Amino acid sequence: MKTMKNIIKILFILSLINSSIYAAKKGALVVSKDVNIESISKNDLKDILLGRKTLWNNGSRIRIAISSEDSEKLNQFLIDNIEQNKRRFKKYWLKRVFAGYGIAPKIFKNDEKALNYAQSQENSITYMTIEEDKVPSGVTIVSVE
């Protein structure tokens, strides 16, 4: 009986640790170091994510990537910024690509791969979750205004 109580206590503590680690992550929009912006308007972001704006101000092609590791945060980010949930966003891009109107965003299943893409691809803009107190090297966090 005492062993069972100890196991339950340990599981409870582990669940608290796991939830605190998970809660420390936030959704962030990052750009590669060669993109010289610190903030982006909500309208410009919407145009970029929907493929209406394909070039940065310097004429370079915008490369879009998204991490779907935290599906709930991604869904909220899309609703807040382009008024579409994740399902509608994917459907929108399927139609657009098959009609020959653009290159769909790269979608990664985890933040590590999305970060690697953002760090290695010039002119990229990437949505992912990151730890609140850490700024990954090789990218700049962009605020949405």
Helix/strand/coil (H, E, C) string of 60-84?
CECEEEEECCCHHHHHHHHHHHHCC
Report H helices in the chain: 2-23, 42-49, 71-82, 86-98, 111-120
Residue 40 sits in which domain range?
25-144
Q: What local confidence, expressed as pLDDT, does residue 12 receive? A: 67
- Band the pLDDT of 88: cuts 50, 70, 90: very high
Q: Any idea which residue has 């936030």 for tokens? A: 26
- What integer is the mean pLDDT of 60-85? 96
Q: What is the CATH number of the domain that holds 70?
A: 3.40.190.10
- What integer is the mean pLDDT of 109-132? 94
Whether residue 1 lies inside any domain: the answer is no
Whether residue 73 lies inside any domain: the answer is yes
pTM: 0.80
Whether residue 2 lies inside any domain: the answer is no
Whether residue 36 lies inside any domain: the answer is yes
Q: How many domains does the chain have?
A: 1
Whether residue 134 lies inside any domain: the answer is yes
Whether residue 91 lies inside any domain: the answer is yes
Q: What local confidence, expressed as pLDDT, does residue 13 receive? A: 72
Whether residue 5 lies inside any domain: the answer is no
Whether residue 60 lies inside any domain: the answer is yes
Percent of the chain with pLDDT over 70: 86
Q: Which of 68, 64, 88, 75 is nearest to 142 (CA)?
A: 64
- Band the pLDDT of 11: cuts 50, 70, 90: low
